[in-house]
Amino acid sequence: MTSPKLEYLNKLLAETITLEEQIRGYRANGKAKHPLQLYSGSPHIPISQSTPPKRKREGLAALKYMVKLEIPLIGVYESGAMIGKQEPENFTTDIAEIAALMKGKGNNQGKAKGTQIKKFYFIPEAVGLICLDIDRKPKKSDGLKELYKLFSRDTLPRALQDIERFFPCYAKTPSGGYHLYFKHSGEHIRKMNLCPEVEVKHGKPGLTAPGSKKENGDYVLYGAIEDAPPLYGIIIDRIKELEKEKQIKTAINRPMSLSHNTTPSNWSQRSRITLDILAKEAANQKLGNHDTQVSFAARVCRMQKAAQQKGWNYGDFSEAKAQAYVKSHPETFGNDMDTENTIKSVFKDYGAI
């Protein structure tokens, strides 16, 4: 008679598919993928892809771990205000000072004395990190679901397909959200929404450190920060897309220093504005190629709108004319591969044709 344990092992063995067999199967169907992209949320994960349980740190133990790595922390009142300005003297890597703040004894400068500090912040950029803050708060969109709407789940690195099982280092928030830690020593990345309820946090004001407490629970660290992966390319590409969109909107909304003759209210049909004049004014702002293209296209759009309002011929200010002009003047606008899409995007934002 077979024992229950042996039956279970036989069943598990029968259900288990090796990584090599999966790869062969994908290739046979013309769907070859990187091995890290094979997991798609199925409960049957090959034994070869499983990972050992992550170390869990919470409370003072998590804060001790942070300062052991020389990650400076600053205390935060329950109101969300910090105990001092985000200046070096108000941060600490002294666990005794942190313990004193938690007991209401204040820091070494006497700040926050009489108030028990339960929450601490750190700035990821200061220690070569960047964070994805995934919110999952009640009565709001679920940030994790939004992330999987933005990126098809089975195209993401395995660590993002099943965070609690595979992501090497994260903090779980009291509301069930996640702070995912990545290594990043590149250029500064501004705080932005990657998608609804998912924020990119790099510089100031930073974010809540594991070991902190709120009324509804603790920030608990899983894994080791030393094992944080580099920021994934798919995330970097999305950040670049958002930065480009912001640059276009900024350039469109930037007040234009038009000369007296190119102000639409001063037009006359005898004194027509030319694309040469608009290009010169855009170039005089001494922007980079991309921003010069945006500035020029925005000027053309505004002239088109002004001509339409006056009932004049606006054929010289069409998207087609702007595209042709930019392409024929690489000395002013450069010759980027994405120039055509840049001009098209500006005209779309303006509702111009």
Q: What is the pLDDT along the chain (353 residues), one digit of tens a residue?
A: 555 555 555 554 444 444 344 444 444 444 444 333 333 333 333 434 456 678 999 999 999 999 999 999 999 999 899 999 999 999 999 999 999 999 999 999 999 999 999 999 999 999 999 999 999 999 899 999 999 999 999 889 999 999 999 999 999 999 999 999 999 988 999 999 999 999 999 999 999 999 999 988 999 999 999 999 999 999 999 999 998 888 777 766 655 554 444 555 554 443 467 888 888 888 887 777 877 888 888 888 888 888 888 778 778 889 999 999 999 988 888 877 778 888 888 888 777 77
Answer yes or no: is 159 within a domain: no
16 Cβ contact list (under 8 Å, min separation 6): 44, 46, 47
Report the domain count for the chain: 3
Longest CA–CA separation in the chain, Å? 103
Q: Domain residues for 35? A: 4-49
Smallest CA-to-CA distance from 92 within 66, 119, 74 is with 74
The answer on 60 and 45 residing in a single domain is no
75, 206: one domain: yes
- Are residues 265 and 136 part of one domain? no
> Is residue 181, in this structure, part of any structural domain at all?
yes
194 and 314, same domain (yes or no): no
Would you report the helix, strand and coil content of the chain in percent, each value rounded to 5? 45, 15, 40
Same domain as 120, residue 66:
yes
Do 63 and 25 share a domain, yes or no? no
Within this chain, do residues 71 and 134 fall inside the same structural domain, yes or no?
yes
Residue 158 lies in a domain: no
341 Cβ contact list (under 8 Å, min separation 6): none
Phi/psi region, residue 324 (left: phi>0; alpha: psi -120 to 50; beta: rest), is alpha
Q: Are residues 223 and 304 in the same domain?
A: no
Contact 102, 117 (CB under 8 A): yes
Shared domain for 102 and 23, answered yes or no, is no
180 and 204 share one domain: yes
pLDDT for position 345: 82
Same domain, 174 and 291: no
pLDDT of residue 110: 92
